[in-house]
Structure 1
Amino acid sequence: MFGPTAPAAHAATAPPHFADGFGLTVVSQPKWVDDKERTFVVTVKSDQVPTYDAMPGQVPGEHVVMVTVPAGYDGAAGTHYPVLYNLHGRGDIPNSAWTQDFAEQSAKDEPLITVSPNGGGHGWYANWQNPGSRGRQNWETFHLDQVIPFIDANLKTIPAKEGRAIVGHSMGGFGAFHYAEDRPELFSYVGSFSGGLDLQDPLLRAAVVGGGVLPDSGTPFAMPDAVFGLPVWPLDRVWNEASPAQHVEKLRGMGVAMYSGDGGNLTDKPIQAVFEYGAHRTAVTTAANLKAAGIPYRFVDYGNGSTWAEGCTGKHAQYPCLQADMNDYVKLIMKRLQHP
């Protein structure tokens, strides 16, 4: 006689295979980050950002892109999915554990692909004015003209505005609004989690310049005029042109959402409190300009965080706050995006 048959072991499914294209060369084919087989990383080289100021563990000439696919995703099937581009903050990396959590938890029951591209420790999601010896630092071109069509060519996406949204945290919040305003034909929805949205604000200018010399933003350091030129009048034209808060008219017809605390108790974690206070100030300015322009928007101003999420105290880069932001934002965009 034969005993009970043991359950079959889980058969590993290979992640999608990627082909070179759009100025990107695949250095390392996709690899699942864990046995859940929801999230994989693919590594590429770009002729628009051939090297950059790398964070610890990064290779300066290589860009990791992290992708989370819906449960049951099958690259051979006929189903196509919308894509959310999620831009990380200063001093972070695209494949951090919390970025994976944000994507997997917020879209666990949604037919949504989430893509988190490398933005450098202090890349600021812009084509730099004065990159110096680094060579080209064309982050905007890299993301909008290379990564987006590269993802559409290699995954089962809905390759149109109706199937695409963008969001970011801190520096990435600026990047999301900046990209949406520069290329509104690409996105149906834009969001910011504690983003720096007003480049005319002196606190944000100080954060951009200061971030270029902080060791936790990647090395080597960036000169004050590297990204947007000199931040002083009358030499600050690029700062003003790239400032999302003053160009909200370009968002007309797009879904718009912002999330921010106010820093909470300033004596508790004062650095994170001040950063959030500064980001909040830029969100308030942006909201006022959106209101004046008659553009609908959602602004979740959660103050000290006590009513927003357990463990959120209104600080900058606080996991419970950001996960709640992402959960809410994904629900919003899925009401508008074309999807199965």
Structure 2
Amino acid sequence: MTIRPQKPIRRGLALVAGLAITSAPATADATAQTAPPLFDSGFGLTVVSQPAWVDATRRTFTFAVASDQVPTPTLLPGQTAGQHVIMVTLPTDYDSTGATRYPVLYALHGNADYPNTLRNQRITEQSTQTAPLITVHPNGSGRGWYSNWVSPGALGPQNWETFHLDQVIPLIDANLRTIPTRNGRAIVGHSMGGFGAFHYAEHRPDLFSYVGSLSGGLDLLNQEQRLAVVETELDPSSGTPTAGIDSIFGPPFWPFDGVWNAQSPAQHVEPLRGMGVAMYVGNGGDLTVDPIQAIVENRARETNLVTAANLTAAGIPYDFIDYGDGGTWAPGCTGKHSQEPCLQADMNHFIPLIMRRLQHP
């Protein structure tokens, strides 16, 4: 599907005008589940905390695992050492004893965020209210960058890509009624998670049939994007203990920056051929209002423009929703980097896209 921009920015790019979809919250009897499914350990993961509903609607539960691929993740306040919380939202009619199987959307959070926030829950439950879809929010740490780190040092192994793709996905397939094929999976992420979604889809196109980025930083050749990654490595607000500037992708300086170049999603789009692709981003709006979030979004947009240009050059179809200052995208969205109204509108648009492609009941 091609979406036309209000003001052309380049051929193949797009801007959608629309409003966030609203729907009533699920009621306590909207799902057939009275207790969340029990999980068995496996695939290098040990279930250390069984699923528990987060509230009375009984659609969303959390559980925790320990991983031999990331045994000691850096921690944000409230997180438990050695554990990874995973949040799962089920379809309203999910029945663990039934025969129906569902596709899965893997949703990757951003830097210094948690998988199990109330915001992530709200956005997911609203956007999937009528969709026969399981949504999984895995832990990505405050600074995991959805990559196998090249120099983790004293932190120990930080193999986030292996953790998610070779451990979490098969664990979910083994314990929930999923459609465990490429046609039954999609992936999306916000900010750092947008990078992760494209990074994973490009590395493992056999796993996913659709990929989406919400304000993702997609171009590691961009020096501002490199600075953003380095800042997350050094900043205690992204988790403790902190890391070195070469921990994730190696030294960020030429001629030692080969890993940065090789892992940049914007320049390696060919594996996305045949996959559904969608990108959502604003321009930051008034840069004098909430300037940090405004500038971060404005710069993220530049990495999306590079990615879009490379997709166009490769002849790979995609949707690019470039909503500017947010005024025509959703009430309350002003084009900043991490605004719930913007993200809700993004997901309200993205879910119907993937459901037209995913195998589902």
Q: State TM-score, norm by structure 2.
A: 0.91
RMSD of aligned residue pairs (Cα, Å):
1.1
Is residue 2:200 matched to residue 1:215? no
**Out of 69, 82, 90, which is 1:61 matched to?**
82
Cα distance in structure 1, aligned partners of 2:234 and 2:248? 13
Is residue 2:199 matched to residue 1:159? no
**Out of 133, 140, 145, which is 1:119 matched to?**
140
Is residue 2:353 matched to residue 1:335? no
**Out of 1, 11, 24, which is 2:45 matched to?**
24
Partner of 1:277: 298
Cα distance in structure 1, aligned partners of 2:302 and 2:210? 22
Is residue 2:158 matched to residue 1:137? yes
Cα distance in structure 2, aligned partners of 1:98 and 1:260? 18
Deviations 1:117-148 (A, max 9, x none): 00000000000011011110000000000000
Partner of 1:319: 340
Cα distance in structure 2, aligned partners of 1:317 and 1:86? 15
Q: What is the deviation of 1:198?
A: 0.2
Contact 2:184 2:358 in 1 (8 A): yes
Which runs of 5 or more residues in structure 1 are unaligned? 1-8
**Out of 293, 314, 319, which is 1:293 matched to?**
314
Is residue 2:197 matched to residue 1:176? yes
Partner of 1:198: 219
Cα distance in structure 2, aligned partners of 1:197 and 1:258? 10
Q: How does 1:8-157 map to 2 (within 5 A)?
A: 13-157=34-178
Cα distance in structure 1, aligned partners of 2:206 and 2:123? 26
| Percent identity (aligned) | 66
Cα distance in structure 2, aligned partners of 1:96 and 1:241? 32
Cα distance in structure 1, aligned partners of 2:33 and 2:292? 44
Cα distance in structure 1, aligned partners of 2:33 and 2:174? 24
Cα distance in structure 2, aligned partners of 1:247 and 1:154? 33
Cα distance in structure 2, aligned partners of 1:179 and 1:84? 13
Cα distance in structure 2, aligned partners of 1:242 and 1:134? 22
2:106 aligned counterpart, secondary structure: strand
Q: How does 1:226-305 map to 2 (within 5 A)?
A: 226-305=247-326
2:262 aligned counterpart, secondary structure: helix
Q: What is the deviation of 1:52?
A: 1.2
Which runs of 5 or more residues in structure 2 are unaligned? 1-27
2:125 aligned counterpart, secondary structure: helix
Partner of 2:14: none
1:185 aligned counterpart, secondary structure: coil
Q: What is the deviation of 1:213?
A: 1.8
**Out of 168, 186, 198, which is 2:207 matched to?**
186
Cα distance in structure 2, aligned partners of 1:153 and 1:178? 24
1:74 aligned counterpart, secondary structure: coil
Cα distance in structure 2, aligned partners of 1:318 and 1:216? 19
Cα distance in structure 1, aligned partners of 2:99 and 2:342? 36
One-letter amino acid of the counterpart of residue 153, structure 1: A
Q: What is the deviation of 1:215?
A: 2.5
